[in-house]
Amino acid sequence: MLFQVIAPPPVQEEAPAPARRDEAAPVAGGRDLRIDLLRGFCVLAMVVDHIGGPSVLYGLTGGNRFYTSAAEAFIFISGLVMGLAYRRIVARDGLGGALRRAMERTLALYLLTITLTLLFIPAWEFLATRRAQGVDFQDPAAFIVSVLTLHRTYYLVDIPLLYTFLIFVAPAAMALLSQGKTAVVLAGSWALWALYQFFPEQTDMPWPIAGNYLFYASAWQVFFFTGIVLGWHHSELRQRLANLPRRAMLILSGLGFTALVVLYQLVDRLPRIMADPELAASIQLFLLEVVFGKSDLRPGRIVASIIVFGFFFLLVSELWRPLYRALGWFLLPLGQSALYAYAAHVVLAVPITILLDSLTIPDRYARPVNAVVQIATLAVIWLLIKGRVLFVNPNSGRARYVWPAVAVLACAVLLPLDPSPTLPGFASAAPETDPFASRVARAFGTPVPGSPPRSEGTAVPLPRPSLRQVQSPLRRGEPRASEYVGSIKGTFRNMQFFSRALDRDMPYFVYLPPGYEEENRRYPVLYLLHGNSGSYEEWPAYGLIDRADRMIAAYEILPLIIVLPQGDFSYWLNLVDGPAYGDYLRADLVRHISFTYRILPGREHRAIGGLSMGGTGALVQAFRYPQEFGVVGAHSPSLPQEGTRDFLGEGRDFAIRDPISLAAQANRLPEQWIWIDVGDEDDWLPRAERLSETLDERGIDHQFHVRPGDHYEGYWRRMVPQYLRFYDAALNPERRL
């Protein structure tokens, strides 16, 4: 009976006896059914966005990629309902009674949060191995205590933790509101939000929370407390706004919503419709980081949320009768039992994910299957609510403590059995010797195809492969971290995300430095690209992660985040008449990483590099979009001549995919840190020299190094420390002094 720890919505607790629900009246039994309907839609959207993958239902929900999402509305509505309910409780039972009720609800939410977290994290890590994040369970007691003290959260259980904290501090706001100090509540909430925009490390509250990569309380509290104020003063506001032309406001907000949709679609297509790709990328990056950032809750996202929520509330008010008839039977139960519905979808996420990961579904059927799974999940949750399955009042007796106690006991018994300490890539004692030789069971080299004479500086072209045939998707049951990573002090995770440009999930590794989970600071980020014939395991196989971890621990370099994506045989570019791997890398991946991890904003804190094919891709991305990447490293770049790779095109098509041509024409290159290295026996040496000469001709400062070695793993493994020192100096201003 997991859901017995969920308290009934506060508005139900003090509501008078329910009145007959007349479809013409959006208010019944002391509840505003419009709010319940909208909250029900928020639950629907979160289920669709969290269960399965992309489907046709993303057209309704935005796929968690629009300029606002269900999370913003859910937090705002929760505050609104609390303000409505507790003002009536204060009037009836006094402030003391209201505060007592609020603390009881806080306890219920706390119990719900820790129960879900203690059960969900181990289940997800042990069973959903394809999507596991590599949580360290070597000290089960420390893990349990971190959950009990709200210092640890995870995907899907981060919103309940945020909600618990907000409910815990809400009584202070209600005490001020009961004394008529509305301005103090609003000023304090918005001031904290504003300070967080400029000083996130100094104003991050309440404390560092491991696993919390998105919902920062200092920013997100503004929705909740603004909602409380609006709910508290609902009657006064309704009287003051009674004379406003509702239909005119509906039209105005509808135009705003339409403008947001058009802007979203337009910005997504900017690189294809603008003549200047650099300007298009600058606009995209500005909107991503400055205007509509989600984790920081940037101003544009707040404006978008106000417009969207206002439009839907007015729309529901205007079209109440038909909406009630068509959707009320389904959405109202979800909205009136929103926390129950959310908890149920968290529990269902584990078996559904395991089932989907165990199936091999052709790409053309993936979206329909996801839609069916999402609809089925919503139906199951709706049936559970209608049947009141496991609905137990937690406010009396000891029943509310049963499931938290069971969860603690289960973790204490099962976590010592976790296999992760024996898997490479998880924290343990530092190795005495470099374990590279014993780890590399196969070569990840990216040799030059054929052996052309060095004077020609070209390669024998290979037939163009099918890109779908050479991808290396994760398989269920594979280790959560690469077998080529030894014992490290940081965290190394095998992750994946959905790329709109490629219309499929793409895997990547991410290295988080020691202290990432405990500190509130942000970090520079380095994207390192693999070569032809390799995969995203190539850099780990050359000892990059081990070396970076040891150098950070020894204070040889400053901490940074390293991202190792999968690029197939793509040259990391938008291929002629082929998949848009360039957009996947520059737009989709950068956006995902910026939203998911604590990244320092700005081009000066973002580096891109690669070896062989990856070096070429890194140069093209950095030269074409210097406003996005302030640092670029090309390690033994394979630089094909025109006509040797048909998927790179000819003429202008080739010129925009050729680093040498771009070096001769691209703007803002003097503002970048550029590194190029190549072995003295590398068949690509003449083309690398030509690239360096082109940069010299333009007076563009860069580092060009010719070292002993050829185009194979021994050279790159030996050069890893030099690469890391270059990126460290380029990404950290204090290193430049």
**Per-residue pLDDT, 362:** 79
pLDDT tens-place string over residues 398-435 = 677 888 999 999 999 888 876 554 444 443 333 333 33
For the packed helices 70-127 and 140-148, what is the interaxial angle rounded to 10 degrees? 160
**Per-residue pLDDT, 64:** 81
Residues 43 and 338 sit within 8 Å (Cβ to Cβ): yes
Residue for token pair 């997991």: 2
**Per-residue pLDDT, 21:** 44
Percent of the chain with pLDDT over 70: 83
Rg over alpha carbons for the chain, rounded to the nearest Å, is 28
pLDDT tens-place string over residues 551-589 = 998 888 999 999 999 988 888 888 887 788 888 998 889
Q: How confident is the model at residue 155 (pLDDT cuts 50, 70, 90)?
A: confident
Q: How confident is the model at residue 132 (pLDDT cuts 50, 70, 90)?
A: low
Q: How confident is the model at residue 134 (pLDDT cuts 50, 70, 90)?
A: low
Indicate where the chain has its CATH 3.40.50.1820 domain(s).
506-736
Tell me the DSSP string of 74-122: HHHHHHHHHHHHHHHHHHHHHHHHHHHHHHHHHHHHHHHHHHHHHHHHH
Q: How confident is the model at residue 340 (pLDDT cuts 50, 70, 90)?
A: very high
**Per-residue pLDDT, 733:** 65
Say if strands 504-512 and 561-565 run parallel, antiparallel, or are unpaired.
antiparallel
Q: Considering only 452-456, 509-513, 624-628, which range has the smallest mean pLDDT?
A: 452-456
**Per-residue pLDDT, 569:** 82
**Per-residue pLDDT, 402:** 85
DSSP state of 398: S
- Spatial separation of the C-alpha atoms in residues 695 and 548, rounded to whole Å: 30
Mean pLDDT of 120-147: 80
Residues 435, 439, 441, 447: what is their CA dihedral angle, to the nearest 10 degrees? -70
219-to-63, 70, 248, 302, 595 alpha-carbon distances in Å: 22, 16, 32, 10, 14
pLDDT over threshold 90, residue 479: no
pLDDT tens-place string over residues 661-701 = 998 887 767 778 999 999 999 989 999 999 999 999 988 98
260 compared with 458, residue with greater pLDDT: 260
Q: Considering only 7-21, 146-160, 252-266, 633-647, which range has the smallest mean pLDDT?
A: 7-21
Say if strands 525-529 and 561-565 run parallel, antiparallel, or are unpaired.
parallel
- Spatial separation of the C-alpha atoms in residues 425 and 420, rounded to whole Å: 9
- Spatial separation of the C-alpha atoms in residues 115 and 406, rounded to whole Å: 9
Which residues have a Cβ under 8 Å from the Cβ of 717 and sit 6 or more positions away? Answer: 436, 542, 543
Mean pLDDT of 505-530: 87
The token pair that represents 672 in the structure block = 């970048």
pLDDT tens-place string over residues 374-384 = 999 999 999 99
Give Cα 456 to chain centroid, integer Å: 45
Closest CA to 640 of 448, 363, 511: 448
Percent of the chain with pLDDT over 90: 41
11 compared with 453, residue with greater pLDDT: 11
Query: Percentage helix, strand, coil, to 5, in the chain?
Result: 55, 10, 35
**Per-residue pLDDT, 441:** 29
pLDDT over threshold 70, residue 734: no
Q: Considering only 100-104, 478-482, 520-524, which range has the smallest mean pLDDT?
A: 478-482
Mean pLDDT (the chain, rounded)? 81
The 3-state DSSP class for residue 578 equals coil
Q: Which amino acid is at 564?
A: L
**Per-residue pLDDT, 722:** 93
Mean pLDDT of 110-132: 84
Q: How many CA atoms lie within 13 A of 250 on its CB side?
A: 11
Which residues have a Cβ under 8 Å from the Cβ of 206 and sit 6 or more positions away? Answer: 165, 217
**Per-residue pLDDT, 456:** 33
- Identify the H or E element spanning 563: strand 561-565
The token pair that represents 475 in the structure block = 């398989």
pLDDT over threshold 50, residue 300: yes
pLDDT tens-place string over residues 230-272 = 999 988 988 888 888 888 999 999 999 999 999 988 887 776 7
Residues 706 and 677 sit within 8 Å (Cβ to Cβ): yes
In sequence order, which ranges of 131-157 are alpha helices (DSSP H)? 140-148
496 compared with 223, residue with greater pLDDT: 223
Fold of the 506-736 domain: Rossmann fold (3.40.50)
**Burial class for 303, CB neighbours closer than 10 Å (0-12, 13-18, 19+):** middle
pLDDT over threshold 60, residue 478: no
Among 28-37, 89-98, 394-403, 454-463, the range with the most confident prediction by mean pLDDT is 89-98
Q: Considering only 28-42, 470-484, 658-672, which range has the smallest mean pLDDT?
A: 470-484
- Spatial separation of the C-alpha atoms in residues 661 and 663, rounded to whole Å: 5
541-to-437, 444, 445, 586, 709 alpha-carbon distances in Å: 9, 7, 10, 24, 18
Residue for token pair 């062989």: 612
Residues 45 and 61 sit within 8 Å (Cβ to Cβ): yes
pLDDT tens-place string over residues 163-208 = 999 999 999 999 999 999 999 999 999 999 999 988 887 888 888 7
Q: Considering only 331-340, 600-609, 612-621, 661-670, which range has the smallest mean pLDDT?
A: 661-670
Torsions phi, psi for 441 (to 5 deg) = -95, -15
Q: How confident is the model at residue 513 (pLDDT cuts 50, 70, 90)?
A: very high
Q: Which residues pair with 676 in a beta bridge?
A: 634, 704
Q: Which residues of 169-203 are buried (b: 16+ CB within 10 A; e: fewer)?
A: bbbebbebbbeeeeeebbebbeebbeebbeebeeb
